[in-house]
Structure 1
């Protein structure tokens, strides 16, 4: 059975979406006019859906198209299984209900049903960013069901499911990271289902992933000093201060932007900051670097003014550009609706996480790793090491200097 959505040929700006269903086995064709409308310039004729499925109104429209495919397929399959006639009027009625926004509860024993159950059970135990990420996985699986034209049931999940999902992910041009993170979340859901006493194929789902060479972009100590010495307009000064603070505290934007002098404590003459990380709720007691203390003092014993993350990200790019951080490198950049790897200048690649990664990289090997993990709040060394830039020029030059020193010593001894 195949579904084909297409636009009406009327002359209006908004055109109705029509549906053609072809049942090759029964040699039957059904045609329907839906109440859904879209302009021709916003319609992807090849993919038979809105061009931008991430714009809110088109996201809703695309979800309705997916629900129509699943609902109609389920109805036809049930009728044929019971040896009953497929009624065009019944299909039309179901399409009309979906177009009018009527949503049915999720079917029991489907993957989406258990995903929603799991997410609801965790909602009060996880941070908002994790909850949002789970909902992204959920909506991705909704689109996958639209791709399959059917609901995915727990008992039907096997290695073919993984294969089909990866085909779907590649066709939609999702990053490999997004595809694998979603699959790992699905395995989490299957383990959750097993704890409810329901048998699944979770142990049969083999995932072999090639190790990816991930570009970790950081600021070297020399680049941080260069930024520190760069004069910036007054409107960029707060962002410059926050960027330097992040490089010397190793915290996420959601944490450092809320720093307050009320969190400061003096322990045996050492100035420390006490706070709970927003993402992990972990209590952190952080000694403040002299550079951070200098910034606080220069701001009349206060932290810089608070700003939103969009303003901060735009500002630190401008600051890095003024500091002439023009090194050419590869980074991921959003092009259209997808993130792609492109060649760019370093200042363009800066974002709010640059300070956290730079802190981990610049102090790694100079300060014991357990102490650094105390500062960043990482629970495992494996997670902490993901922040380390393996190509650290300072460490490479230090190693080279050792080689030169040793070689000079041997040469002098020979003579």
Structure 2
């Protein structure tokens, strides 16, 4: 029985974000690997001791809440280890025990059942429990952070859709989700008039839930890995505002709420950040570099990445001074509605052709440019205008927080004509 040696290992020991902790058992030349459902950031894992780091000097450098989390995790792993060692003693008395029996006993201790013996897991019920865990903070992102309210809202919206879909096709069990399910869902989304990217968002969430169920040992279904089970996507026509159009907004005589909305949007255009970041700029974010240049020093909400935004436009400083460097608090939904009206008042009414796939059909329609303005237009506007001013992709990425040139280029909305003019100007100045 000495071959049964429990060992804790990480699923992805080189990962920067959280990874699952497995217990590994060797039994008569065969290996049993079971997920504990516990996770840890590998940086805080002591491989030799097979436990979270316990060195007091190292722990002192961590936040108190993280210290407590690692301590609780150590206790949980100790309990699992104690159970397995007791199990080894029991097995010494029974030489006929099988690997399946060992797996069953370990899973029972961990509060789970072997997948083969478990009753079919309803996908909607599991999806619901996952959303609940997101809300109470017991299910975290790969980076070990809580899910944002917007992400949870998206999951809830998709859950409602799938609940309606289940009424159409009957009970959805996790193990039964396959390509036929995928095709039926696509057809259903087309029938109710979903845009391609809305359907893609639903599938993306389904894949994420299936992946989690697989990781947690709830399901053996790996359809989420199939290239055919993909989140459909189409290129969206997104606008940016030219420097001339920004000037129209600045010159527009406004007062009250509309004035505040216009100013917040313009600040977003000049800093090239997401709404969640430009809407919370306050005096503590205003810093000065070693060379005496004023910058906005932000940790981005979505990526937790630090960016330094220089005051490249005098309008930015003027707008921030107007509010004592504290961007006014606003609510995004009415903000988006108001931006369209403000754009109309400013005369940002150039007609553009919008091509969309709605309900499985490609449709074209003419819209006024102001109809497409949203809070996120500010970020695209900022990135595009920096590009047109001649800043390099690397320089812009340092400001926007994009990690690849490819992802940045999705934000740069330069027309063919603008690109030709920019290239011609470069030749003239060389």
Secondary structure in 1 aligned to 2:412? Answer: coil
Is 2:251 aligned against 1:239?
A: no
Contact 2:402 2:408 in 1 (8 A): yes
1:370 maps to: 394
Structure 1 residues 391, 211: closer, same or farther in 2, change over 3 A? farther
Secondary structure in 2 aligned to 1:364? Answer: helix
Query: CA shift at 1:384, angstroms?
Result: 2.9
Alignment match of 1:387 (pick from 411, 423, 427): 411
Structure 1 residues 222, 382: closer, same or farther in 2, change over 3 A? same
Secondary structure in 2 aligned to 1:167? Answer: helix
1:135 maps to: 156
TM-score of the aligned structures, taking structure 1 as reference length: 0.62
Distance 1:308 1:171 in 2: 33
1:23 maps to: none
1:270 maps to: 293
2:130 maps to: 118
Alignment match of 1:177 (pick from 197, 212, 215): 197
Query: CA shift at 1:343, angstroms?
Result: 2.1
2:178 maps to: 158
Contact 1:158 1:201 in 2 (8 A): no
1:89 maps to: none
Query: CA shift at 1:272, angstroms?
Result: 1.7
Structure 1 residues 374, 228: closer, same or farther in 2, change over 3 A? same
2:377 maps to: 354
Secondary structure in 2 aligned to 1:318? Answer: helix
Alignment match of 1:312 (pick from 305, 313, 335): 335
How many residues align structurally? 293
Distance 2:416 2:243 in 1: 10
Distance 2:338 2:371 in 1: 11
Deviations 1:195-227 (A, max 9, x none): 233321424461467763420111012222332
Distance 1:160 1:237 in 2: 52
Secondary structure in 1 aligned to 2:335? Answer: helix
Query: CA shift at 1:259, angstroms?
Result: 1.5
Structure 1 residues 274, 117: closer, same or farther in 2, change over 3 A? same
Query: CA shift at 1:183, angstroms?
Result: 1.5
Structure 1 residues 131, 155: closer, same or farther in 2, change over 3 A? same
Query: CA shift at 1:329, angstroms?
Result: 1.4
2:85 maps to: none
TM-score of the aligned structures, taking structure 2 as reference length: 0.60
Alignment match of 1:286 (pick from 303, 309, 319): 309
Distance 1:113 1:315 in 2: 39
1:147 maps to: 168
Distance 1:357 1:387 in 2: 5
Structure 1 residues 392, 251: closer, same or farther in 2, change over 3 A? farther
Contact 1:154 1:200 in 2 (8 A): yes
Unaligned runs of 5+ in 1: 1-106, 407-415
Structure 1 residues 395, 158: closer, same or farther in 2, change over 3 A? same
Is 2:211 aligned against 1:191?
A: yes
2:43 maps to: none
Deviations 1:301-326 (A, max 9, x none): 44454333344334433332233211
Is 2:423 aligned against 1:399?
A: yes
Distance 2:213 2:352 in 1: 44
Query: CA shift at 1:332, angstroms?
Result: 8.7
Structure 1 residues 380, 113: closer, same or farther in 2, change over 3 A? farther
Structure 1 residues 286, 380: closer, same or farther in 2, change over 3 A? same
After superposition, where does 1:13-24 map in structure 2 within 5 Å? Answer: none
Contact 1:127 1:280 in 2 (8 A): no
Distance 1:208 1:193 in 2: 18
Secondary structure in 2 aligned to 1:351? Answer: coil
Secondary structure in 2 aligned to 1:285? Answer: strand
Query: CA shift at 1:162, angstroms?
Result: 0.7
After superposition, where does 1:70-85 map in structure 2 within 5 Å? Answer: none
2:344 maps to: 321
Unaligned runs of 5+ in 2: 1-118, 138-145
